Amino acid sequence: GDRSEVLTEALRTRYFRPGVRPPQPMAPERTGCGWIAGYVVGKNVDRVQVTLATEPARPTLTDGSGFFAFVRVPVGEYEVSCGRATGATQSVRVVAGKVTWTRLTH
């Protein structure tokens, strides 16, 4: 995209000698990873612990709006949970280079 071309040009002209190409970032879809993002809805959604079922488990906390995210998640099927209530666990499928959105009820 335009931003990567601007960055590459800035690196080329400011930090690399003429004729030397700056390293190219790997396209997200080639890393074999994606992202999981979502919202916890209900009462008291600030600082709710959300857990991604991996080995070992990966916990994170929601912000004041209930938003949470996991980055660099390997492609595959996962369960995301925020407690024992109904609707507090969702199955998600991570696709390389994509954001998988989900919603949990707290």
Summarised one tens digit per residue, pLDDT across range 71-85 is: 999 999 999 999 765
What is the C-alpha separation between 73 and 1, in angstroms, rounded?
23
**What range does the domain containing 19 cover?**
1-27
53 and 7 both lie in a single domain: no
Write out the DSSP string of 24-59: PPPPGGGTTEEEEEEEEESS--TT-EEEE-SSS-EE
What's the pLDDT tens digit per position in 83-95?
A: 765 568 899 999 9
Cα–Cα distance measured from residue 20 to residue 102, given in angstroms and rounded to the nearest whole number: 43
Q: Residue 66 and residue 52: Cα distance in Å, rounded?
A: 16
Whether residue 18 is found in the same domain as residue 47: no
Q: Which of 30, 1, 29, 32 is nearest to 97 (CA)?
A: 29
Residue 66 shares a structural domain with residue 46: yes
Both 20 and 44 in one domain: the answer is: no
Residue 41 and residue 21 share a domain: no
Please state the domain count of the chain.
2
pTM value > 0.75? no
